[in-house]
Amino acid sequence: MQADRPTGGRKSLVLLLTSLAAAGWSPQLRASILWRSGGQTVRHHTVAEQDPSFPPELTQAEAALEKKDYPTAQALLRKVVDEHPDNYQAWFDLGFAENALGHTQESIAAYRKSVAAKPDVFESNLNLGLMLAKTGQPDAEQFLRAATTLIPTGDRAAGQARAWISLGHILENSKPDQAIEAYLRAAALTPNDPEAHLSAGLLLEKQNRFADAEQQYKQVLVVDPQSSNALTGLANVYLRGHRLSDAEEVLRKLLPLRPNDPAVHLELGRVLAAAGNNEQAIRELERASQLAPADRDLERQLADLYSDSHLYDRAEAEYRRLLAEQPQDAESHHELGVVLMKEKKFPAAQQELLMAVKLKPDYGAAYGDLAVAANENKNYELAIKAVDFRAKYLPEIPVSYFLRATAYDHLRAYKQAAENYHKFLEVAHGDYPDQEWQARHRLIAIEPKK
């Protein structure tokens, strides 16, 4: 008879799906949703040549900027602002050049001068807000909000959408509801641009607003049915909502788009396992393991699935590989011990389980399995000791009373055996008919006749 199984480990792939819902999608996939094109600064159309009052060096500097000759532009623009400190265009161009040269603080200072000289320029406010956001400064919101109210050069809808998206990004942590509103404003301005929908979907998902997030991801798929980012987000929504059949359908669409992404194979394998389709689940997890051979957590999940599928020889080999890499892992020793018991290799199982509790002395579930292995090895003293240790860390269950009773019975310690047979019968409630029959008949045999 097998003792209780751990409820807090990684054995059950259904539990893995639950933990996935709590933790969110795999980092490498979720990162791909976080588009940040809105974080790139923009340029005006050149205006120096349109205003005869602007100095000729400004026209020369803008020509250098067009050629991406930033050092030349920087030198010319510094000369212009020294001579014309109120020229907003020169300060703006200098801010752009300094940023291109990697001079963040100098860029921010120049953009501040540009906004101070002419506060109603969309690009100046947008770029200043983006640079402040890049450096984590709190007044970024002020300038990005201002940009949403101003008219950009060129495509008005696209420019304002960019401002709303940029504002949404900086509000996500502090004001998530306002961030969602900003993304939706951007989406209304440019309904065929996926970024706003994806950003809104991800943030709605973080708030557990799965139905709203689903709609945002589906909006992207209307425009681009092959969007791997939208499919990724949609799959995660379905996983977190425990809609496993929907998740499987989306993951199968995602797989051809990311055939070499181990995370996609892993999540599809988890879904298939939760649906009881272990054969296909194993294929997906094995493929994920080939793509990410150094992923220990993936190795463990594959070993667990082998065990759940009664492929004990493959499970044993996988757990032994894990232990070769990390011999002090108590959980791997425990799981290997359980697999060895299923293979009826009880002496080897006992050694693994002894190592598990040595490495983790409060490992209640491992003590329960150790008691079973020791009982099978007729090491009744160890079986009793193990089940008593188990009781220090986990509540007693019918199996533990019965195992302790039979061990005492074999040792002819009939008083202790009878006590545990009685405790077993008190809590069995007809759930263990064979063992209850055995307990009653042993009590007749070992208890003193009244």
For residue 33, pLDDT beyond 70: no
**What's the mean pLDDT in 290-304?**
91
**Token pair listed for 90:** 């020169």
Q: Is the pLDDT of residue 47 over 80?
A: no
Do 87 and 117 touch, CB atoms closer than 8 A?
A: yes
Q: Give the whole-number percent of the chain exceeding pLDDT 70.
A: 88
End-to-end CA distance of the chain: 32
Min mean pLDDT across 203-212, 292-301, 342-351 is at 292-301
Residue 25's contacts (CB-CB under 8 Å, 6 or more residues apart) are 232, 233, 235, 236, 239, 263, 267
CA dihedral 233, 235, 239, 240 (to 10 degrees): 20
Question: In the predicted model, is pLDDT for residue 117 greater than 60?
Answer: yes
Q: Is the pLDDT of residue 410 over 50?
A: yes
The answer on pLDDT for 299 being more than 70 is: yes
Task: Give pLDDT, residue 448.
Answer: 84
111 band by pLDDT with thresholds 50, 70 and 90: very high
What is the mean pLDDT of the segment spanning 329-356?
97
pTM over 0.75: no
C-alpha to C-alpha distance for 73 and 97, rounded to whole angstroms: 7
Q: Cα 90 to chain center, whole Å?
A: 46
Buried b or exposed e, range 394-412, using 16+ CB within 10 angstroms: beebbbbbbbbbbbbbeee
Judge contact between 147 and 126, C-beta under 8 A: yes
Bin 430: left if φ > 0, else alpha if -120 < ψ < 50, else beta.
left
Q: Where in the chain is the domain with CATH 1.25.40.10?
A: 1-24+191-309, 311-383
Above 70 in pLDDT, residue 338?
yes
Q: Among 49-58, 118-127, 216-225, which is the least confidently predicted range?
A: 49-58
Mean pLDDT of all residues in the chain?
88
Q: What is the pLDDT of residue 450?
A: 63
pLDDT exceeds 70 at position 93: yes
According to the model, what pLDDT value does residue 52 have? 61
Model confidence band, residue 360 (pLDDT cutoffs 50, 70, 90)? very high
Residue 109 has pLDDT above 70, yes or no: yes
- Could you tell me the two tokens for 409? 């019975």
Residue 54: band (very low, low, confident or very high) from pLDDT cuts 50, 70, 90 = confident
Q: Residue 41 has what pLDDT? A: 67
CATH number of 1-24+191-309: 1.25.40.10
Region of poorest pLDDT, from 68-77, 265-274, 312-321, 404-413: 265-274
Q: What pLDDT shows up at residue 42?
A: 65
Backbone angles phi, psi at 47, to 5 degrees: -120, -10
When mean pLDDT is compared across 51-60, 315-324, 373-382, 399-408, the lowest value belongs to 51-60
Q: Which residue has the higher pLDDT, 28 or 221?
A: 221
Query: Is the torsion defined by CA of 179, 182, 184, 190 positive or negative?
Result: negative
Both structure tokens of 420? 């545990």
**pLDDT-based confidence at residue 51 (cuts at 50, 70, 90):** low
Where is 280: in which H helix or E strand? helix 278-291
With 80 as the cut, is the pLDDT of residue 13 above it?
no
Contact 183, 165 (CB under 8 A): yes
Stretch 337-347: mean pLDDT, rounded? 97
Structure tokens, 127: 């770029």
Tokens linked to 431 = 């759930």
User: Per-residue pLDDT for 45 more than 70?
Assistant: no
**Which pLDDT value is given to residue 40?**
61
CATH fold of 311-383 reads 1.25.40
Average pLDDT over residues 396-412: 96
pLDDT at 403: 96
- Give 98: exposed, middle or buried? Use CB within 10 Å, 0-12, 13-18, 19+: buried
Rounded-to-integer distance, Cα 377 and Cα 351, Å:
11
Indicate if the pLDDT at residue 146 is higher than 60: yes
If you average pLDDT over residues 417-428, what whole number do you get?
96
Distance CA 318, CA 332 (A): 10
pLDDT average, residue stretch 272-279: 90
- Quote the Cα angle for 40-160-123, to 5°: 55
Helices 244-254 and 262-274: crossing angle in degrees, nearest 10, is 150
What sign has the CA pseudo-torsion 209, 212, 218, 223?
Answer: negative
Amino acid identity, residue 162? R
Work out the angle between the directed axes of helices 228-240 and 13-23 (0-180°, nearest 10).
110
| Residue 261 clears pLDDT 80, i.e. is over it | yes
User: CB–CB of 104/72 below 8 Å?
Assistant: no
The arithmetic mean of pLDDT across residues 255-273, rounded, is 92
What residue type is 260 in one-letter code? Answer: N
